[in-house]
Every structure is written in structure tokens, then in C-alpha cells.
Chain A
């Protein structure tokens, strides 16, 4: 535990000195938020919580990118092998990546919420407890996924290529970019097998007070199981050395990350009415917009 906190503090300090990191973790999410509100929130403020949910999803999922790239850079530059000589340990090294990322995500999340509440006149804070738990487990889960990508790729180019592929799937099929209710039915069913969907639908619902703590539990559970499986796999696949080979069974281990989500996806598709609920919530938002009528721009006054 001691080594984990020592490393976490060092990682946060280093990240705060990295302009690229600050841009991608703080400025870019805010630009997305302002852009999304300008594009979709102008007609009615009723959409602001929904937009906030999507932006929070982007912010949390961003953990996936930064960590994998940073870990591969550290390995390529021979930084990790210096840590290997010390008693730091692979577990604390990985856990510190996840924790430092989490602690740096929280202020951005808070800032986005404050901007929506006071600058874009969002009428309530949403289900704060559900938002907090979803952000926490979402950040842990997506950080762990990033660490797995870092463990199975050898170079930065390879990492970025794989990240892009996964990222596209996450943002376009989860409801974070296009509302899930607007996607074709078969995509909606497929999306329930993606971890990103649990985060996106959970946060969109929580930001708009559409889900209770109990309803958020499935999303949190899916993400929590994802965290446990992904962390353990990334720990097993972790490589200190730039020239260390990826183990032959690594790809099978990576597929193992999908198992909990395959189980959750099958369960949600067969036994629950999650997709109907998402449709209903989205419809109620549309109705609310109609009832509220045009309210003018939601931009800051």
C-alpha cells in the first residue's frame, strides 16, 4: 500500500507537469461540453443533463487512452526497468496508474457538473451518489482496460492503432455519442455486451435523475467486475522490459476481460427490460422538451 501511494503521488505530480495531459484531460472535455451544448442544448435546457451524462462518459473513458500510452512510453524509454530493480512491484505500479488517473479525473468531472449547473442552468445536480460511484468504477475499469492494451502491445504506434479501434467502438456503440435509443435495434442489443454502455447509460440516467441507486447498481456491478478481471489480467501480462515478449496466451487473457460483459450482456438482453427503459427515458426527455417549449439558448447569460 505504501509503495502504491508513493507512486500515485509521483504520477500525479508528473501528470500535472505534462501539458499534453492537461490539455486532453481538462481542456478537451470542456471543449466537448461547450461544443455539445452549443449544438444540441440550444433549443431546450431539458437536454443539458443528458449532454452532461455523455460528456462525463467521455471524460471517464478517456482514462483508457492516457494510461496505455504512458505505460508504453515508460516501457519503451526503459523507465519501468529502473522501477523493476526497486521493491516497488508491478501491482502498486499498475494500481498507482489507475488511482492517479482517478484523482485527476475527479476535478474535471466536478468542473463539468458545476459549469452545467451554473453556466448552463441545469435544474438539479442529478443523482449525485450514482454519478460518484459510476465515475469511480468507470474510471477504474477503463484505466484497467488501457493497462491491458499497454501490456499486449509493443510499440506506441501499435498501442494507438488498437486504442483507436476500441475507442471507436466504445464511443459510437455505447450511446455516448449517438443516443442508444436512436441506434438500430440490433446495435442496441449488441451494445449491452460493451462495458462502455453501462457507463454511458448509467451516467446519462444519473445526471438526469432518471435512475435510482438501485437501478444504477447493475451498471456499477458490471464495471466493478470489469475492474477486478481487467486489473488481474493487466497484472499478469505486465512487462517491465522493452524487449520482453508478449506471452503466447496473452490474447486469450485479453478475451477473458470480455467474459463478464458477455455474461452481463446476455443477462440484460434476455432477462431485463434495460433497452425498453432506455427507450422510455429518451422518449420522456423528448416529451419534456415539447412540454417545456423553446427556452432560448442555454449558453451562459
Chain B
């Protein structure tokens, strides 16, 4: 394996009293889709923006294609493409003009018509940016990230705030990028996005990477448990379900008891007996196979969306 395309070692960043990054480290290999998965405020955007050269770390090393993003200037910018989490374009700029405008800044340029077609924007080519829907704006942002046929693509929450249909369209585009062997760094707080799209994932929380691996490895590390989510008619005391047969872990989130069990049938039988004995009732019960959400809960004691 050669030199990693993205190298991050011991990255620290403070915003006044807030510690945004506390020693973040990971590597991304050529052609890999790497996900930074974590809740809002975990430090994902700060990490990506340091790698894009838009922020200066207080400490630590950040390299993209062997270059220091902050100091490498034009050569670095020629190599990367990015979708920023918060950005915009002038309302009166047309879709085709936006792509052409940004393409003109680069030495290597993708064909504008091809990009419009690939991102299903051909019909909207003459529409003003201000007239586009959220999904169309995001597709345009993706098209603009590829105007220079970059080697490395940064996608900062590319599907945040989009409806499920549009989100799936964006997934298809990212899978296409994966197929074209581009190195992609993707940040997200959607579990399914990380599981579906990423070759490897780093789970990040409160400015620290708390786990790294392929989605499969991370899920296996979740001790082969099944997640059972139950809602009850009467609330229970803390830890009341933790002693049931097969239960490895139990936490309560907004009235829902999330139980991780190594032997789900035995756990459910024990749960029903306990509820009968206490004259309590089961309002709902759902079972889930292990997901990255479970890994996150195990590691942090919180849900990703908390």
C-alpha cells in the first residue's frame, strides 16, 4: 500500500473556549470512500475544512496528496473538489454559467454538458440558482465539485436536510464516484449513508475519533448483539431491564428503552414476564440487526442524533 492520499495526525482546533478537535487522526487510501460519522458538533466539518485549506489547525498534521492544504495554494486546489456544508451562489447566476465559471479557474476542466447530463441538470441549465430546489442546488454543488476532475473529493454532509428521494439520488452519484476510483472523504450523521457508501468509517465524537474500521468490522465489534427497542405504558426505573436474560446493555432515550441483547428470544420472554409481574404493558417492540448506530451508542452512551 502506498502513501495515504489523506493523512491526519493529532489534529487539534479550539474556537475560543470550545475544543472542536482533540487529537483527530486517520488515513485515507487512494480510491477509498472514507466516512466521518458523528453527531452535529462532533468536529467533522472542522476536520474537513482543515483538509480543504479553509481553516488552520492549532496543532497536528494534515496532508492531502502529500501537500499541506493551507500552504500549497493553486497546485493543491487543482487536485481537490468539495461540497461545503454551508455555502451559496448568487441567485441570478444560471446553472450552466455557474459550472462554466468555476471550470474556468482550473487547468483541467470537465465538459460542462457532460456534467449537466450526469447530474440531471440539463433541463435546468438556464435556470437561475435562486430558482432551484434544495436537491437541485445540491446536485449543482456536486457537479461544481467535479469541474476540475479532482483526485480527492470532500463531501461535507452532502445530503443533510434533503428528502429521502433526493438523498437516494445523491447516494447514486457518490456510488458513481466510488466506481470511478476517486478518493472521497464524506462526513455524515446518517448511519445508512455511512453503511451504504463508505469503504471505511471513523466514528467521531466531541472532537475525537473513537473508532475506525470498515462498517462490517465496526458492527462486528458491537459484540454480536441485537438491538431491541421497546416502549412501555409505565416508565421503569433506570437499569430495570439490564438484568434480563441476555441483555448486554440497556439505555433509555426519550421514553424508548434500547436494549442490546446477545440472546434476543430469551430477552423478550424475560421482558414479557417482568412486565406481567409489574402490571405494565408493552406498547411497541422493534428488533434491529447491529448497525453503526449501536456501535455509537455502545461507545458514547448517546444516539447519533442527540
Question: Is A275 interfacial (CB-CB < 8 Å)?
Answer: no
Q: Count residues of B near A (Cβ-Cβ below 8 Å).
A: 23
Q: Report whether B92 and A18 are in contact in the complex, using a CB–CB cutoff of 8 Å.
A: yes
- Given A14-B92, A79-B90, verify A85-B101 contact (CB < 8 Å): no
Question: Is A280 interfacial (CB-CB < 8 Å)?
Answer: no
B→A interface (CB under 8 Å): 52, 54, 73-74, 77-78, 80, 82, 84, 86-90, 92-93, 97, 101-102, 104-106, 144
How far, in whole Å, are A78 and B102 apart by their CA atoms in the complex? 16
- Given A10-B93, A85-B52, verify A3-B105 contact (CB < 8 Å): yes
Q: Report whether A85 and B77 are in contact in the complex, using a CB–CB cutoff of 8 Å.
A: yes
Q: Which 5 residue pairs are nearest across A and B when measured between Cβ atoms?
A: A17-B92, A87-B77, A6-B104, A82-B87, A86-B105
How far, in whole Å, are A240 and B105 apart by their CA atoms in the complex? 17
How far, in whole Å, are A111 and B73 apart by their CA atoms in the complex? 43
Q: Report whether A87 and B105 are in contact in the complex, using a CB–CB cutoff of 8 Å.
A: yes
* Proximity string of chain A (29-60) to chain B, C-beta cutoff 8 Å, 1 when within and 0 when not: 00000000000000000000000000000000
- Given A87-B105, A88-B105, verify A10-B97 contact (CB < 8 Å): yes
Grouping DSSP codes into helix (H, G, I), strand (E, B) and loop, the A interface class, with mixed when no group exceeds half, is helix
Q: Count residues of A near B (Cβ-Cβ below 8 Å).
A: 22
Q: Report whether A81 and B106 are in contact in the complex, using a CB–CB cutoff of 8 Å.
A: no
Residues of chain B within 8 A (CB-CB) of A10 are: 93, 97, 101
With A3-B104, A6-B104, A86-B106 known, 20 other A-B pairs at CB within 8 A are: A6-B101, A6-B105, A10-B93, A10-B97, A14-B90, A14-B92, A18-B92, A77-B88, A78-B87, A78-B88, A79-B89, A81-B54, A82-B87, A85-B77, A87-B73, A87-B74, A87-B77, A87-B78, A88-B105, A240-B54
B108 to chain A minimum Cβ distance, whole angstroms, is 11
How far, in whole Å, are A211 and B194 apart by their CA atoms in the complex? 72
A280 to chain B minimum Cβ distance, whole angstroms, is 49
How far, in whole Å, are A18 and B90 apart by their CA atoms in the complex? 11
A157 to chain B minimum Cβ distance, whole angstroms, is 20
Q: Report whether A78 and B74 are in contact in the complex, using a CB–CB cutoff of 8 Å.
A: no
Question: Is A84 interfacial (CB-CB < 8 Å)?
Answer: yes
How far, in whole Å, are A285 and B187 apart by their CA atoms in the complex? 71
A44 to chain B minimum Cβ distance, whole angstroms, is 45
Residues of chain B within 8 A (CB-CB) of A3 are: 104-105
Residues of chain B within 8 A (CB-CB) of A86 are: 77, 102, 105-106
Q: Indicate which residue in B74, B77, B89 contacts A82 across the interface (CB closer than 8 Å).
A: B89
A94 to chain B minimum Cβ distance, whole angstroms, is 15
B155 to chain A minimum Cβ distance, whole angstroms, is 13
Q: Report whether A78 and B86 are in contact in the complex, using a CB–CB cutoff of 8 Å.
A: yes
How far, in whole Å, are A149 and B54 apart by their CA atoms in the complex? 23
Residue in B52, B80, B84, B101 with the greatest tally of chain A CB atoms within 10 Å:
B101
How far, in whole Å, are A84 and B84 apart by their CA atoms in the complex? 11
- Give A79's nearest chain B residue, CB to CB: B88
Q: 26 A–B contact pairs at CB < 8 A? A: A3-B104, A6-B101, A6-B104, A7-B101, A10-B93, A10-B101, A14-B93, A78-B88, A79-B87, A79-B88, A79-B89, A79-B90, A81-B84, A81-B86, A81-B87, A82-B84, A82-B88, A82-B89, A85-B80, A85-B82, A86-B105, A86-B106, A87-B74, A87-B77, A87-B105, A88-B105
How far, in whole Å, are A286 and B87 apart by their CA atoms in the complex? 57
Question: Is A13 interfacial (CB-CB < 8 Å)?
Answer: yes
A238 to chain B minimum Cβ distance, whole angstroms, is 14
* Proximity string of chain A (7-19) to chain B, C-beta cutoff 8 Å, 1 when within and 0 when not: 1001001100110
- Give B102's nearest chain A residue, CB to CB: A86
How far, in whole Å, are A123 and B97 apart by their CA atoms in the complex? 45
Residues of chain A within 8 A (CB-CB) of B84 are: 78, 81-82, 85
- Give B75's nearest chain A residue, CB to CB: A87
How far, in whole Å, are A241 and B80 apart by their CA atoms in the complex? 19
How far, in whole Å, are A11 and B89 apart by their CA atoms in the complex? 12
How far, in whole Å, are A18 and B105 apart by their CA atoms in the complex? 24
How far, in whole Å, are A87 and B80 apart by their CA atoms in the complex? 10
Residue in A3, A82, A85 with the greatest tally of chain B CB atoms within 10 Å:
A85
- Give A74's nearest chain B residue, CB to CB: B90
Residues of chain A within 8 A (CB-CB) of B92 are: 14, 17-18
* Proximity string of chain A (56-89) to chain B, C-beta cutoff 8 Å, 1 when within and 0 when not: 0000000000000000001001110110111110
How far, in whole Å, are A81 and B52 apart by their CA atoms in the complex? 11
Residues of chain A within 8 A (CB-CB) of B74 are: 87
Residues of chain B within 8 A (CB-CB) of A78 are: 84, 86-88
Residues of chain B within 8 A (CB-CB) of A2 are: 104
- Given A6-B101, A10-B97, A14-B93, verify A85-B88 contact (CB < 8 Å): no
Q: Report whether A84 and B54 are in contact in the complex, using a CB–CB cutoff of 8 Å.
A: yes
How far, in whole Å, are A125 and B231 apart by their CA atoms in the complex? 87
- Give A5's nearest chain B residue, CB to CB: B104
Residues of chain A within 8 A (CB-CB) of B97 are: 10, 13
* Proximity string of chain A (79-120) to chain B, C-beta cutoff 8 Å, 1 when within and 0 when not: 101101111100000000000000000000000000000000
* Proximity string of chain A (223-251) to chain B, C-beta cutoff 8 Å, 1 when within and 0 when not: 00000000000000000110000000000
How far, in whole Å, are A77 and B84 apart by their CA atoms in the complex? 13
- Give B55's nearest chain A residue, CB to CB: A241
A222 to chain B minimum Cβ distance, whole angstroms, is 34
Residues of chain B within 8 A (CB-CB) of A13 are: 97
Residues of chain A within 8 A (CB-CB) of B52 are: 85
B106 to chain A minimum Cβ distance, whole angstroms, is 7
B71 to chain A minimum Cβ distance, whole angstroms, is 14
A159 to chain B minimum Cβ distance, whole angstroms, is 18
How far, in whole Å, are A7 and B77 apart by their CA atoms in the complex? 17
Residues of chain A within 8 A (CB-CB) of B80 are: 85
